[in-house]
């Protein structure tokens, strides 16, 4: 009797195991994929639609959720465990010509809780590399570290890199001498260098440039909107500027020299004056850096906190002492902090100390800098007028620089053709339209440049299955980036697999992009190897893993 | 005595309406999805900065406390500071309001003068071929979306013919001194032409059709028949007797249209890069700039309420039969 029982039990168990699939987990929940609306971000929206399609072929259920930036950012940033995947973008700025800001702030585990590592990526090996490249002053060694960081990211795929878009701008070549236009690596032709060197060919000597966004503030102690920085970069000098090749070069500083890995000596250029005629002194320079960390300028503060102290050696020489060695110091601090006149700002900051507001809310009637252009006037939401500072050591060749606020992108193009503006500073429409218009017109030059910035999908590493690098690799591999470049960006982009843009030639590790294999077969193979299974049409977790985030 | 009581009641009523508007505005923007901090998200955005911003914007306090602070400030005429521009809301609104008002009034005056005349004329020529051709045209212009109409005018008169500039209130870099100098300059008027025309074409349908149907009603009334019997000329009958009476509802609609138009400007201000309140409002709402959005909406609400009041008073003045009991 007993024996028969046992045998029956054994057969029953055997059939049970045989009929059940070998070690299958729960089906993976419906994945939410965030994107901004088509009207606001057509390329992002298009990319997301293509990606969702490819992921569905892997057996995933994908729900594309469209929402405006403010709402999307609110969830991604302030409810960090409440989302799965989101489209995101990083814009190119001159200071990002040094890879440190991107490599460290986006991926170091210390910024996961409240900083820009909102994806919750944590890899001790990566942390070590990111920290090491920060303090490595030797460029060749640092380059190896930055390469290493790119390789780790390529293997881990914490983000799914999509493309580096191309920035496309245009100008009237009958007004401006084409040779005088400077194409800044990773930024494009709309940059400070161009505005200083544009050479008029005829009677029109005013640079008239458009922007779709309003100017929020013209304030050397407040990092506000992107357009605002076009203005502040022209009004204020910095000790260094990021050059057309993406590398920093001395500017208001005649030279700088590392004395050791925590000490840098800066020699101020002689004969500079503020727009009110007073001379620029080493006291002003020291004051500018002190003002940033005074507590009155929280946005700029991170760029100067590494400065332990500044010694004034003589009336042209200063020595900066740093808390820690910082390879990116020249780009991210000397080329970032605006020089401001002590005689203007000292009383203002004193007064602000007694008030609730800080310097970010303080708008001067006439901002005083020492830069290549002087402030003339500002009409709310309509235009800003600057005039050339002929006393500057790199005086502009044009007479005035006028920024016109034009929210209607078609009107901006019409204005370029009619001469109401003569330089497209921002074109949010299809770049092909700009090129076609230039062909029809004959007077226009259009220039596209690969950007430092990039578009990507961010995976929330806090939530399974995105905590599994293999899963992320598979999702990333499922989409051929050439499809995104062609279909969503109409060719105005370059396929990417690295946060360091190919525009930054020195730092960009081309191998991680070349070695990236994409395709449905590659993706399916990775999933299979990692133990994910297809039951019917639905992808399941490996092993006995349960779905913890189902709604 | 009776009049005074009515006036006091009316003012109290206004206060109540304003309070309700203010409260709804306050709650509406805070309940909308989105976050004013989103504009600051950046790789170098630290926790310290986030806390400082929250405190600066007053968003670290509980909602009810924010509400009472807001009310207390409003009573003192203080609209607060814009999150996005870090400058007093009142200053921004005052800088933009004149541009919006001049566009609104110019276009409405054109629309109403044309609408009233054309409406009276069409009523007079009731049943004629002119009327039969004109009515569909009027209905079509009323149905055209403003942005489309604006783009068409822009394409024809600016890009193709080059008669008018494509945007702004003045040519790049020109200085006209003060507002009066600006508004009386040829430069300004040429910039005003297309946006005002767009709005005028869009708005003329209402006064035209209203005037026409009123005229048709009035013409049937006894006093008009009486006038005709007296042997007065057709012109005198239509203009002095019928039109004057038919004008009353049109006047009311003008006052109300001013309020509506302030919102309708949003689209036209964007198409023609016009630096007005409408564009500002849209930007403020999408950036969750609560103080600025509240301030701009409140300003529009006040104009609407005031224009309604004026319409009521005007009515009583033009037609003594209407009284407020």
CA dist A446 to A84, A146, A168, A194, A204, Å? 39, 33, 7, 14, 20
Position A21 pLDDT exceeds 60: no
- How many domains are contained in chain A? 2
Count of C-beta atoms within a 10 Å radius of residue A75: 19
Residue ending a domain, among A442, A476, A509, is A442
**Strand ranges, E, within A127-286:** 159-172, 206-211, 240-242, 248-250, 253-260, 263-268
Percent residues over pLDDT 90 in chain B: 30
Domain that holds residue A499: 26-165+452-541
Report yes or no on A146 lying in a domain. Answer: yes
**Strand ranges, E, within A36-81:** 62-66
Q: Return d(Cα A157, Cα A474) in angstroms, integer.
A: 9
Q: How confident is the model at residue B323 (pLDDT cuts 50, 70, 90)?
A: low
CATH of the domain at A75: 3.10.105
On whether both A86 and A228 belong to a single domain, the answer is: no
Amino acid B2: pLDDT: 54
Amino acid A9: pLDDT: 55
Q: For chain A, report the end-to-end CA distance as a whole number of angstroms.
A: 49
Give residue-wise pLDDT tens across range A422-435.
Answer: 999 999 888 899 99
Give residue-wise pLDDT tens across range A344-394.
Answer: 999 999 999 998 888 988 999 999 999 999 999 999 999 999 999 999 999
Amino acid B325: pLDDT: 42
Position A492 pLDDT exceeds 90: yes
Position B13 pLDDT exceeds 90: no
The beta-carbon neighbor of B283 closest among A214, A302, A357 is: A214
Burial A142-172 (b: 16+ CB within 10 A, else e): bbbbbbbbbbbbbebbbbbbbbbbbbbbbbb
Position A5 pLDDT exceeds 70: no
Q: What residue has token string 């080493």? A: A282
Residue A383 to residue B34, Cβ atoms within 8 A: no
State mean pLDDT over B98-113: 93
Q: Return d(Cα B1, Cα A532) in angstroms, integer.
A: 86
Q: Return d(Cα A311, Cα A184) in angstroms, integer.
A: 34
> In the structure encoding, which two tokens stand for residue B40, read together?
């600051």
Collapsing DSSP to helix, strand or coil, A258 comes out as strand
Position B1 pLDDT exceeds 60: no
State mean pLDDT over B129-154: 90
Residue ending a domain, among A442, A472, A492, is A442
Strand arrangement, sheet containing A253-260: A253-260, A263-268, A317-322, A307-314
Collapsing DSSP to helix, strand or coil, A312 comes out as strand
On whether both A52 and A130 belong to a single domain, the answer is: yes
Q: Return d(Cα B81, Cα A323) in angstroms, integer.
A: 37
Is A423 within 8 Å of A445 (Cβ atoms)?
A: no
On whether both A200 and A88 belong to a single domain, the answer is: no
Is A252 within 8 Å of A280 (Cβ atoms)?
A: yes
Report yes or no on A103 lying in a domain. Answer: yes
CA dist A29 to A59, A62, A541, A544, Å? 11, 9, 10, 15
Count of C-beta atoms within a 10 Å radius of residue A483: 16
pTM of the model: 0.87
Give residue-wise pLDDT tens across range A151-186.
Answer: 999 999 999 999 999 999 999 999 999 999 999 999
Chain A residue with minimum CA distance to B31: A71
Residue B270 to residue A408, Cβ atoms within 8 A: yes
Is A378 within 8 Å of B85 (Cβ atoms)?
A: no
Position B194 pLDDT exceeds 70: yes
State mean pLDDT over B89-109: 92
Position B256 pLDDT exceeds 90: no
Position A52 pLDDT exceeds 90: yes
Position A15 pLDDT exceeds 70: no
Amino acid A298: pLDDT: 85
Position B322 pLDDT exceeds 90: no
On whether both A291 and A233 belong to a single domain, the answer is: yes
ipTM of the predicted assembly exceeds 0.90: no
Give residue-wise pLDDT tens across range A458-486.
Answer: 999 999 899 999 999 999 999 999 999 99
CA dist A434 to A188, B77, B127, Å? 15, 48, 51
A418 contacts in chain B (CB < 8 Å): 158-159, 162, 165-166
A293 contacts in chain B (CB < 8 Å): none
Strands A85-90 and A307-314: unpaired
Position B7 pLDDT exceeds 80: no
Residues 6+ apart with CB under 8 A from B225: none
CATH of the domain at A252: 3.40.190.10
Kindly report the CATH class assigned to B95-318: mainly alpha
CA dist A482 to A45, A192, A490, A505, A519, Å? 16, 33, 10, 21, 11
The beta-carbon neighbor of A69 closest among B38, B40, B86 is: B38
Amino acid A18: pLDDT: 46
Q: Return d(Cα A147, Cα A548) in angstroms, integer.
A: 36
On whether both A369 and A494 belong to a single domain, the answer is: no
State mean pLDDT over A259-263: 92
Cα B181 versus chain centre, distance: 24
Length of chain A: 551
Q: How confident is the model at residue A10 (pLDDT cuts 50, 70, 90)?
A: low
Distance from CA of B24 to the nearest CA of A (A): 21
Position A17 pLDDT exceeds 50: no
Residue ending a domain, among A442, A469, A488, is A442
Q: What residue has token string 């870090």? A: B86
Cα B237 versus chain centre, distance: 34
The more confident residue out of B227 and A385 is: A385
Cis peptide before A465 (omega within 30 of 0): yes
Stretch(es) of chain B classified as CATH 1.10.3720.10: 95-318
The beta-carbon neighbor of A407 closest among B46, B151, B279 is: B279
On whether both A148 and A222 belong to a single domain, the answer is: no
Rg for chain A (alpha carbons), in Å? Answer: 27
Q: How confident is the model at residue B32 (pLDDT cuts 50, 70, 90)?
A: confident
Count of C-beta atoms within a 10 Å radius of residue B216: 16
On whether both A218 and A353 belong to a single domain, the answer is: yes
Q: Return d(Cα B228, Cα A457) in angstroms, integer.
A: 79
Position A11 pLDDT exceeds 70: no
Is A504 within 8 Å of A99 (Cβ atoms)?
A: yes
Report yes or no on A13 lying in a domain. Answer: no
B103 contacts in chain A (CB < 8 Å): none
Amino acid B187: pLDDT: 93
Give residue-wise pLDDT tens across range A55-99.
Answer: 999 999 999 999 988 889 989 998 999 999 999 999 888 888 899
State mean pLDDT over A11-37: 72
Q: Return d(Cα A540, Cα A532) in angstroms, integer.
A: 6
Mean predicted lDDT score pLDDT of chain A: 92
The beta-carbon neighbor of B172 closest among A224, A408, A420 is: A420
Mean predicted lDDT score pLDDT of chain B: 86
Count of C-beta atoms within a 10 Å radius of residue A85: 28
Residue A68 to residue B34, Cβ atoms within 8 A: yes
């Amino acid at each position: 009797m007993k024996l028969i029982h046992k045998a029956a039990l054994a057969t029953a168990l055997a059939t049970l195991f045989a009929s059940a699939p070998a070690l299958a987990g729960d089906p993976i929940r419906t994945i939410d994929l965030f994107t901004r609306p088509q009207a606001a971000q057509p390329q992002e929206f298009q990319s997301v639609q293509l990606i969702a399609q490819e992921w569905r072929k892997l057996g995933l259920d994908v729900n594309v959720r469209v929402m405006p930036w403010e709402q999307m950012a609110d969830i991604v940033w302030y409810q960090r465990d409440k989302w799965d995947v989101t489209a995101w973008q990083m814009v190119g700025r001159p200071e990002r010509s040094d890879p440190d800001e991107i490599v460290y702030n986006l991926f170091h585990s210390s910024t996961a809780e409240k900083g820009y590592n909102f994806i919750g990526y944590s890899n001790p090996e990566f942390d070590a590399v990111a920290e090491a490249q920060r303090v490595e002053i030797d460029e060749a060694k640092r380059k190896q570290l930055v390469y290493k960081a790119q390789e780790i990211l390529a293997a881990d795929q914490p983000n799914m890199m999509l493309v580096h878009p191309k920035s496309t701008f245009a100008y009237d070549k009958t007004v401006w001498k084409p040779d005088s236009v400077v194409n800044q690596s990773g930024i494009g032709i709309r940059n400070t260098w161009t505005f200083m060197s544009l050479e008029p060919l005829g009677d029109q000597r005013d640079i008239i440039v458009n922007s779709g966004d309003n100017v929020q503030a013209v304030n050397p102690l407040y990092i506000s909107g992107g357009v605002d920085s076009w203005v502040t970069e022209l009004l204020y000098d910095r000790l260094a500027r990021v050059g057309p090749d993406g590398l920093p070069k001395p500017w208001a500083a005649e030279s700088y020299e590392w004395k050791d890995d925590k000490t840098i000596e800066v020699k101020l250029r002689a004969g500079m004056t503020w727009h009110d005629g007073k001379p620029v002194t080493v006291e002003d320079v020291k004051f500018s850096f002190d003002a940033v960390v005074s507590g009155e300028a929280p946005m700029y503060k991170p760029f100067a906190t590494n400065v332990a102290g500044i010694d004034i050696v003589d009336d042209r020489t200063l020595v900066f002492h740093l808390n820690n060695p910082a390879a990116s110091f020249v780009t991210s601090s000397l080329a970032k902090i605006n020089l401001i006149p002590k005689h203007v700002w000292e009383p203002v900051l004193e007064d602000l100390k007694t008030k609730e507001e800080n310097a970010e809310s303080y708008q001067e009637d006439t901002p005083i800098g020492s830069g290549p252009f002087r402030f003339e006037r500002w009409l709310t939401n309509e235009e800003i007028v600057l005039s050339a500072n002929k006393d500057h050591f790199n005086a502009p060749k044009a007479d005035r620089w006028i920024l016109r606020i034009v929210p209607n992108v078609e009107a901006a193009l019409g204005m370029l053709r009619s001469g109401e503006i003569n330089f497209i500073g921002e074109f949010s429409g299809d770049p092909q339209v700009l090129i076609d218009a230039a062909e029809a017109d004959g007077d226009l030059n259009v220039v596209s440049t690969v950007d430092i910035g990039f578009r990507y999908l961010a995976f929330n590493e806090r939530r399974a299955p995105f905590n599994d690098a293999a899963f992320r690799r598979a999702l990333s591999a499922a989409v051929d980036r050439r499809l995104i470049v062609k279909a969503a960006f109409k060719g105005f982009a370059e396929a990417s697999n690295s946060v360091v843009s190919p525009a930054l030639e020195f730092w960009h590790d081309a191998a991680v992009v070349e070695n990236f294999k994409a395709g449905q077969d590659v993706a399916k193979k990775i999933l299979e190897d990692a133990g994910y299974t297809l039951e019917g049409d639905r992808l399941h977790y490996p092993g006995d893993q349960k779905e913890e985030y189902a709604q | 005595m009776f009049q005074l009581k009515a006036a006091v009641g009316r003012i109290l009523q206004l206060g109540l309406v304003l309070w309700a508007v203010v409260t709804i505005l306050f709650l509406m923007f805070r309940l909308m999805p989105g976050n004013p901090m989103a504009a600051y998200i950046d790789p170098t955005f630290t926790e310290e900065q986030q806390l400082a911003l929250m405190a600066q914007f007053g968003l670290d306090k509980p909602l009810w406390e924010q509400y009472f602070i807001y009310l207390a400030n409003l009573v003192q005429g203080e609209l607060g500071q814009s999150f996005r521009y870090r400058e007093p809301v009142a200053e921004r609104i005052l800088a933009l309001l004149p541009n919006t008002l001049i566009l609104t009034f110019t276009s409405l005056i054109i629309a109403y003068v044309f609408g009233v005349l054309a409406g009276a004329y069409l009523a007079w020529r009731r049943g004629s071929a002119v009327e039969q051709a004109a009515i569909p045209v009027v209905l079509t212009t009323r149905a055209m979306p403003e942005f489309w109409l604006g783009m068409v005018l822009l394409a024809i008169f600016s890009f193709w013919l080059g008669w008018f500039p494509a945007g702004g209130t003045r040519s790049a870099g020109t200085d006209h001194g003060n507002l009066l100098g600006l508004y009386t300059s040829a430069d300004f008027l040429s910039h005003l032409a297309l946006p005002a025309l767009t709005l005028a074409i869009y708005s003329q349908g209402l006064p035209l059709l209203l005037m026409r149907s009123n005229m048709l009603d009035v013409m049937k009334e006894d006093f008009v028949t009486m006038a005709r019997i007296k042997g007065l000329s057709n012109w005198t009958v239509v203009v002095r007797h019928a039109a004057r009476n038919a004008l009353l509802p049109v006047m009311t609609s003008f006052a109300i249209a001013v309020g509506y138009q302030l919102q309708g400007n949003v689209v036209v201000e964007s198409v023609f890069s016009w630096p007005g309140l409408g564009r500002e409002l849209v930007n403020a709402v999408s950036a969750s700039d609560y103080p600025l959005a509240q301030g701009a909406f409140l300003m529009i609400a006040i104009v609407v309420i005031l224009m309604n009041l004026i319409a009521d008073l005007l009515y009583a003045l033009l037609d003594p039969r209407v009284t407020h009991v």
